[in-house]
Amino acid sequence: MVSGDPRCDWVTWMLHRYAVGMGLKALVLGCGEGWLERALARDARIPEIVAVDFSKEMLARAARQAEREGLDGKIRYAAVDLDREILPGGPYDLILAHDAIHHVRDLEGFFDRVASALATTGVFLFCDYVGPRRFDYAAPRRAVVDEFLRALPEKYRHLARTGGIATQGVRTDPGELARQDPSEAVRSDEILSLLRAKMKVLEEIPYGGSLLSPLLYEIIGNFEEGNEADEAILKQLCAAEKVLIQTGALPSDYMVVAAKKR
């Protein structure tokens, strides 16, 4: 959806567009178990990478995997709280994040810290959820998702967690989500507006999720890979979401974005 080619993922595409020159220094935010920095480490243009995360356990896992893959010489790890701590090192030619920013509460300070860590010609690239906070969808969206759920045969609406059948298209309770995970999509609906105010946006690429994410949450396991009927239904849902977004009936909840300091 981002690159226009099913063989090309968002990271490869955005590096193709924005990673200019050799000897680039990169920073990965909210690295988790480390797939993103390992992908960068395989790029000959990027010899130096710093990866940060709040969880020391995740950092240890990522470091072990990088060592197993022989990439530890290019990657350095550090524990950083993206909500309040200065980003280490820099200036960076590239700063990347995947599904990390929607957990940040202090978005204003976060974008200031990212801009400060960028080189003059550096670029900030991220892929994230930018839809309603805590997935608190308004009534019109809920009605659309409900309609598509009712069109699915019952076998696809089975809920493994409870053993019941899904009767509502949106099954996330914002209040319960806030209690279970206070940082989840805490200010997701403000990410783009605050980014535009703090940095110069170079590109915003929508890639959907507005229908598929709430609808298929908890029931995607009922679709069997390789099953012709199951895959046909999923393709129809993907096509429907694309039309809904293109016609303005739904916004795109997920975006890939490129920005730089002002």
CB 255 within 8 Å of CB 11: no
Identify the CATH number of the domain in which residue 24 sits.
Answer: 3.40.50.150
Token readout for 17 is 């567009």
Look up the pTM and report it.
0.94
Q: How high does pLDDT run on average in the chain?
A: 97
User: Is residue 67 one of the residues assigned to a domain?
Assistant: yes
pLDDT in tens, 72-96: 999 999 999 999 999 999 999 999 9
Residue 136 has pLDDT above 90, yes or no: yes
How many folded domains does the chain comprise?
Answer: 1
User: Is residue 45 one of the residues assigned to a domain?
Assistant: yes
pLDDT in tens, 22-50: 999 999 999 999 999 999 999 999 999 99
| CA quadruple 61, 64, 69, 71: dihedral sign | positive
Token readout for 111 is 């974008």
Residue 190 has pLDDT above 90, yes or no: yes
pLDDT in tens, 106-127: 999 999 999 999 999 999 999 9
pLDDT in tens, 218-255: 999 999 999 999 999 999 999 999 999 999 999 999 99
CB 212 within 8 Å of CB 237: yes
Taken as a whole, the chain contains a residue count of 262
When pLDDT is cut at 50, 70 and 90, the band that residue 161 belongs to is confident
Question: CB under 8 Å to 259, separation ≥6 — which residues?
Answer: 123, 124, 195, 199, 200, 201, 202
CB 262 within 8 Å of CB 202: no
User: Is residue 246 one of the residues assigned to a domain?
Assistant: no
Which range marks the domain in which residue 82 is found?
10-134+181-209+251-260
Question: CB under 8 Å to 53, separation ≥6 — which residues?
Answer: 30, 31, 32, 59, 62, 77, 79, 80
